[in-house]
Chain A
Amino acid sequence: MRIRINGDTHEVDVDVRTSLLDLLREHLGLTGSKKGCDHGQCGACTVLINGRRINSCLTLAVMHDDDEIVTIEGLGSPAALHPLQAAFVRHDGFQCGYCTPGQICSAVGMLDEVAKGWPSLVSEPGTDAVALTDEEIRERMSGNLCRCSAYPNIVDAIRDVAGAGA
């Protein structure tokens, strides 16, 4: 199969049981996406597929022929951080760092969902535009666990970037 990851095209031949996450980590050396539960319960493996966030442990690699994947490595590098990556550093939005790539990829996807006006459980019913309150951020990011509990700092980082971009 052929898959595009962070702009590079990879021709790969994988076991049909291989999750997208294991393809990234074990076959392509892209270990930035983390495995915390392998069951879609923690969000550490979140990547962007054609712009939308997804738990890469819950989807098989073979389902993504010709898809465009962006992982944490594709968002930025230590020398050229994505604005959200930089904001996470500035606001200390992590400690051990293991959930962090997933939090950041999830935040990228989440902000796009908000920009499109997709409502969440806590959104005001009947309005087209979603106001990105802290409550909205917390609700929409609740699929990404952080046992170090950097949650308040993550919200600060996301609000910081979203505010700058708005």
Chain B
Amino acid sequence: MSDAKRTLVMDDPVEHSLLDGAQGVIGRPIDRVDGPLKVSGRATYAAEYALDDLAYGYLVAAPFGRGTVLGLDVEAAKAMPGVIDVVIDYETFLRNAQQGGETEAPEQGVREVAYFREPVAIVVAETYEQARAAGERLAVEGDRKPGLYSVADRLGEADKAPSGGAVEPHFANGDLDAAMAAAPVTVDVTYTTPSQNSAAMEPHASTACWGDDGLTLYGSYQMPASDREQLADAIGLEVDQVRIVSAYVGGGFGSKLGIAPESVAAAVAAKKLGRPVKAVMTRQQVFDATVRRSDTHQRVRLAATADGQLTGIGHDTICSNLPGEDFFEPAGTATHFLYAAPNRTIRHDMVRVNRVLSGSMRAPGEAVGMLALECAIDELAEKLGLDPVELRKRNEPERDPQKDVAFSSRRLVDCLDEGARRFGWAERNATPGALRRGEWLVGHGMAASARSNKLKSSEARVAVTADGRAVVETDMTDIGTGTYTILAQIAGEMLGLPLDRVEVRLGDNCFPPGAGSGGSWGAGSSGSSVYLACEGLRERLADRLGCAVDELTLKDGAAICANRQVALAELAGDGLATTGRIEAGKLDDALRQASYGAHFCEVHVNMVTGESRVRRWTSVFAAGRILNEKTARSQCLGGIVFGLGAALTEELFHDVRTGKIVNRDLAEYHVPVHADVPPIEVVFLPERDAYANPLQSKGIGELGISGAGAAVANAIYNATGVRVRDFPLTLDELLDGLPPV
């Protein structure tokens, strides 16, 4: 096999994408290539590898929210049937999970407990039942200290959030206070959102196995390339001594970006015992000890002229995190560029708290930030007596209002217009509380959607084999996002192969380091690496055929040039492989890159019970080239429904006396179910973004959630005339304001 490498740094737009090829597989709504394995139960997730001599680990949690661990009753646990050991390593175990993309271990050390039910040890037994019984009975003695459990009472303690996050913590342009004082119409409101949990269906799981070459960890992780570096750092190994396998991941939504406590616990235990150890978190442990989305307290200020021109925007967010953690919820991200206004203040502050780590959950920033911003815009529209669609259109910026640079592509106005047309927005009742069907109040709401587009370094190796197939390898993951399928489509399109002759291998550090799944960058980044590898292969194939690459056509397994047709297998010889690598370049800062959309929905609110039911939904998006219409639509559906949960039901309750998470299971933390979800229309507008990447695509994984919950809240206001600013909008917050039946 002859190997080569091809790298592209995105300093210039790629105006002519080779994806517009002859094979015709890109963009089409092709069924997932991993579908048959998944629907038949044959896809193998982290806890499902049958290893010889496997032992079962069960994490032991501190039963207090802050303090020092004095000891565990190890002997009592070891006396229980089947228990092999209680593994304690106060220095090495992780205090908390790591954030995404970090290359070092997260905070280590569990003698000092920083949050309720922080894992401090692992019991290992011959069977799961034995490990669980011992783990649940194992007493943890601690010197308990008063903890910082409340946020609401301590907003005055908020400090400027650390630099180095998704956006600078504090930003100001012009004079917002003066703009507010001078404006004829203003809005100054505070919205709050609670802690949330990603609640991926597969709990965090790690199966650790040591060999001569080091550690192999079958883990449920989104970013194996950087997770490997974190894990190596945590347990004192070289990076190449750690191999993470995440071939199938049962959902992540940010919660599996960085390594979590069970990974190191399993690795340390497996090393000590000299046998593989599997540590699967219980659902309760996922809530207690992985990662939450921070609660937020958001003040939005809007200043406008009488005809609806924004003169000022302010968005001040307070979030919370553990002592020492840098991550803050960047709720003002979209506020930086969504609407024009000369006077702008966008600030993020943080309160330190003894609660489980806060970090990324689907669309960190926009998901909750746009709840506040897009509801406040709705409030302004009402004050102005303007259609909220029209208000948004009047504030559409020509250029990025903060950086004064061009947008790489932006079809927000088209999304608003097309969404309004399809939904029948013009026919809605605009008077709050005035439309009633039986005991139901009917409302319509809308919101804009925006999510920043990012490109991350990513590598993939693509081989054309001696039998004329293509094999794609990268440690990129498919967490439900459709990676297996779209990478097959990209390789198939570029190399002229039907999909049954393309094999995609993912989620294994044996393969080149991929971008990982997060921040909506996965498809664009890993897809570009496959694109580049195939571009390199095309040149080498043309060379072997003796023709110029721009005269080469690859289709149905044949290379065609100047009336000659040769089978790919014949050209490949012993096999040809090229590794492609993409890196972000000057275009990252030279333009504002984001995907856009518009949500429209109908919500019914019961006048007797106060329950809200979403009945109808239309969303229109523009996100560059759509790589697979079917999987892209599913990503958007998923985002929209996440937003619906944020609007109506999802809320983690922290007991402010103890720091305990009260509703730590799926019966008490309410994610949307079948009955909560109406038919959803998703439409993609044609768009290409040559500045984003060679595929000309932009991110879609988090676009659906951005703004979705605000559309629900605005519809509830339109239905009832009750404006609730404390998410989720549960029935108790509506009941008092509802009209008599």
Contacts and interface: CB of A to CB of B under 8 A. Distances in A.
B488 to A, nearest CB: 15
A88 B672 CA distance: 20
Contact of B202 (A32, A75, A98, A155): A98
Contacts of B665: 37, 39, 41
A42 B283 CA distance: 10
Contacts of B39: 72, 76, 81, 85-86, 88-89, 94, 97, 100-101, 104
Contacts of B45: 31, 34, 98
Contacts of A104: 39
B127 interface: yes
Of B38, B480, B638, most A-chain CB atoms within 10 Å = B38
Given A78-B42, A98-B202, A149 B642 contact: yes
Contact of B253 (A78, A101, A146, A147): A147
A48 interface: no
Contact of A148 (B41, B50, B251): B251
B609 to A, nearest CB: 15
Interface stretch (B88-96, B261-269, B673-681): B673-681
Contacts of A134: 679
B201 A152 contact: no
A13 B499 CA distance: 45
Contacts of B390: none
Contact of B283 (A29, A37, A151): A37
B251 A152 contact: no
B201 A42 contact: yes
A9 to B, nearest CB: 20
Given A92-B634, A148-B480, A151-B641, A98 B666 contact: no
B40 A77 contact: yes
B667 interface: yes
Nearest to B33: A89
Contacts of A15: 127, 129-130
B250 A96 contact: yes
B79 to A, nearest CB: 17
Contacts of A56: none
Of B32, B634, B667, most A-chain CB atoms within 10 Å = B634
A29 B39 CA distance: 17
Interface residues of B, number: 62
A88 B35 contact: yes
Contact of B37 (A78, A138, A143): A78
Contact of B634 (A34, A90, A153): A153
A153 B31 CA distance: 13
B393 to A, nearest CB: 29
Report whether over half of chain B's contact residues are helix, strand or loop; otherwise say mixed. loop
A98 B634 contact: no
Size bin of chain A's contact surface: 35 or more
B42 A32 contact: yes
Interface in A87-119: 88-90, 92, 94-101, 104
B489 to A, nearest CB: 14
A73 B41 contact: yes
B201 A36 contact: yes
B495 interface: no
B38 A100 contact: yes
Interface in B257-292: 280, 282-283
Given A17-B133, A141-B674, A147-B199, A78 B36 contact: yes
B44 interface: yes
A33 B280 CA distance: 15
B677 A138 contact: yes
Contacts of A67: none
Interface in B201-260: 201-203, 248-253
B677 A35 contact: no
B36 A146 contact: no
Contact of A95 (B133, B638, B675): B638
A6 to B, nearest CB: 11
Contact of A147 (B248, B251, B481, B679): B251
A33 B31 CA distance: 23
Given A73-B42, A104-B39, A152-B637, A96 B677 contact: no
A149 B701 CA distance: 12
B425 interface: no
A138 B47 CA distance: 30
Interface string A57-90: 0000000000000011101111101000110111
B153 to A, nearest CB: 32
A66 B200 CA distance: 35
A154 to B, nearest CB: 7
A85 B248 CA distance: 18
Contact of A89 (B35, B41, B48, B482): B35
Of A95, A139, A146, most B-chain CB atoms within 10 Å = A95
Interface in B462-519: 479-482
Given A25-B48, A141-B674, 10 more contacts: A32-B40, A32-B41, A34-B250, A73-B40, A94-B480, A98-B202, A142-B675, A149-B637, A149-B640, A152-B679
28 contacts: A34-B202, A36-B201, A38-B282, A39-B665, A39-B667, A71-B41, A72-B39, A78-B40, A78-B42, A79-B36, A81-B36, A94-B39, A95-B481, A96-B479, A100-B38, A101-B41, A104-B39, A137-B674, A142-B673, A142-B675, A143-B673, A146-B201, A148-B634, A149-B638, A149-B642, A149-B672, A151-B672, A151-B673
Interface of A: 15, 17-18, 22, 25-26, 29-39, 41-42, 44, 71-73, 75-79, 81, 85-86, 88-90, 92, 94-101, 104, 134, 137-139, 141-155
- Counting from the closest, the 7 A-B pairs by CB-CB distance are A32-B41, A98-B250, A95-B480, A96-B480, A97-B38, A149-B641, A72-B41
Interface of B: 31-32, 34-45, 47-48, 50, 127-130, 133, 198-203, 248-253, 280, 282-283, 479-482, 630-631, 633-635, 637-638, 640-642, 665-667, 671-675, 677, 679-680
